[in-house]
């Protein structure tokens, strides 16, 4: 029987990876193109990165996008965590089906419908569209993703840890802050990163809910691409790819470093435990000799009751 992957599997994987990553590689290479024409190679140059630094409109759009992503991801993380706690810890309360349906609806609803609904809502309540309307729209979209991630962690959570803490006199709020929250923190962090990424990449919701002075980076890039691809767009995309790559590498290094520290901590704990066992064995073995030595010492220190020959 033949073992290992076949040539067909290897070729399929290679073609799939090339289809996914070859356009990204071409984009990164052409971001260093000296020619103004995107499809014509004119030599290596960092000209478009220099021009990008002086493009105030593009920098303002990037700053607005980062602010919206951070605020919406923070709000979505808080609301999504509370929603996950309600769905997992409160049992089958009245209105649970409606509540869960409203939470999960943005997952399956097309973004065009969600964006149009939010646009009609903002127009009906006479709200000026801008920074905060985009933030509300992104929070509505990303909160459901945070809820799913945190809920999956809470379902497998060991409730006996909380019960043990409360049996020892810890109040419920302090139990949540000191026991539950640290254990579900990785899921909350994952939800925050997912929400931040979705907000950073969104174009449809931002197009419906944007206003004057709130042009995000995807809207800016899309508007410039419609007029013709500029080499500055390649430079912006390359910077975003570099930031994502650096983040992935940093996370991998932190994970590897934490694994190393956990291994060293495990070895150190066993070493200390071994020293304690050896110390106990030594005390147990030499305990009779220690008692005999103490008895002999006390006997030597006591004054003799036998009269002296001089008396």
Q: What is the pLDDT of residues 67-94, one digit of tens each?
A: 999 999 999 999 999 998 888 887 777 8
The residue ranking higher by pLDDT, 152 or 226, is: 152
What does the block give as tokens for 240?
């975003």
Confidence of residue 252 (pLDDT cuts 50, 70, 90): confident
Contacts of 27 (CB under 8 A, 6+ apart): 234, 237, 238, 241
pTM: predicted TM-score of the whole model, two decimal places = 0.71
Select, from the ranges 18-27, 141-150, 238-247, the one with the highest average predicted confidence (pLDDT): 141-150
Q: Does residue 44 sit in helix, strand or coil?
A: strand
Is the pLDDT score of 257 beyond 80?
A: no
pLDDT digits (tens, 9 = 90+) for 54-71: 888 888 888 888 899 999
Residue that is written with structure tokens 């605020």 in the block: 71
Is the pLDDT score of 293 beyond 50?
A: no
With beta carbons less than 8 A apart as the criterion, state whether 247 and 189 touch: no
pLDDT digits (tens, 9 = 90+) for 84-138: 888 888 777 788 788 888 888 888 888 888 888 988 998 898 888 888 999 999 9
pLDDT digits (tens, 9 = 90+) for 158-201: 788 878 888 888 888 888 888 888 888 888 888 888 888 888 88
Q: Which pLDDT does position 71 carry in this prediction?
A: 93
With vertex at residue 214, the alpha carbon angle to CA 211 and CA 220, rounded to the nearest 5 degrees, is 105
Residues, the chain, total?
A: 311
Range of lowest pLDDT (3-17, 46-60, 146-160, 261-275): 261-275
Is the pLDDT score of 14 beyond 80?
A: yes
Cβ atoms within 10 Å, residue 176: 15
Distance of CA 270 to the CA centre of its chain: 32
In Å, how far are 33, 234, 309 from 229, measured between CA atoms? 13, 8, 120
The Cα–Cα gap between 199 and 205 comes to 9
Q: Which pLDDT does position 72 carry in this prediction?
A: 93
Is the pLDDT score of 290 beyond 50?
A: no
Q: Which pLDDT does position 96 carry in this prediction?
A: 79
What CATH number has the domain spanning 57-228? 1.10.3720.10
Q: Which pLDDT does position 76 carry in this prediction?
A: 93
Domain boundaries, the chain: 57-228
Q: What is the rounded average pLDDT for all residues in the chain?
A: 78
The Cα–Cα gap between 153 and 236 comes to 36
Q: Which pLDDT does position 310 carry in this prediction?
A: 45
Q: Which pLDDT does position 128 carry in this prediction?
A: 85
């Amino acid at each position: 029987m033949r073992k290992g992957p076949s040539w067909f599997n290897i070729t399929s994987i290679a073609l799939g990876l090339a289809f996914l990553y070859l356009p990204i590689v071409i984009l990164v290479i052409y971001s260093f193109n000296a020619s103004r024409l995107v499809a014509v190679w004119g030599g290596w140059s960092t000209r478009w990165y220099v021009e990008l630094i002086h493009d105030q409109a593009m920098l303002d759009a990037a700053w607005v996008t980062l602010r919206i992503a951070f605020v919406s991801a923070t709000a979505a993380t808080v609301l999504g965590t509370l929603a996950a706690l309600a769905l997992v810890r409160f049992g089958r309360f009245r209105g649970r089906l409606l509540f869960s349906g409203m939470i999960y609806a943005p997952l399956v609803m097309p973004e065009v419908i969600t964006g149009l609904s939010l646009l009609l809502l903002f127009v009906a309540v006479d709200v000026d569209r801008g920074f905060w309307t985009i933030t509300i729209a992104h929070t509505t979209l990303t909160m459901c993703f945070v809820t799913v991630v945190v809920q999956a962690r809470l379902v497998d959570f060991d409730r006996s840890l909380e019960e043990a803490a409360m049996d020892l006199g810890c109040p419920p709020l302090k139990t949540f802050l000191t026991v539950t929250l640290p254990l579900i923190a990785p899921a909350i962090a994952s939800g925050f990163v997912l929400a931040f990424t979705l907000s950073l990449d969104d174009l449809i919701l931002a197009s419906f809910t944007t206003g004057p002075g709130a042009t995000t980076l995807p809207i800016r890039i899309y508007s410039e691409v419609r007029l013709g691809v500029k080499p500055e767009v390649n430079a912006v995309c390359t910077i975003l790819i570099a930031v994502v790559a650096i983040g992935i590498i940093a996370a991998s290094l932190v994970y590897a470093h934490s694994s190393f520290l956990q291994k060293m901590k495990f070895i150190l704990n066993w070493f200390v435990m071994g020293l304690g066992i050896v110390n106990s064995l030594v005390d147990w073995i030499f305990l009779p000799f220690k008692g005999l030595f103490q008895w002999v010492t006390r006997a030597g220190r006591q004054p003799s009751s036998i009269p002296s020959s001089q008396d």
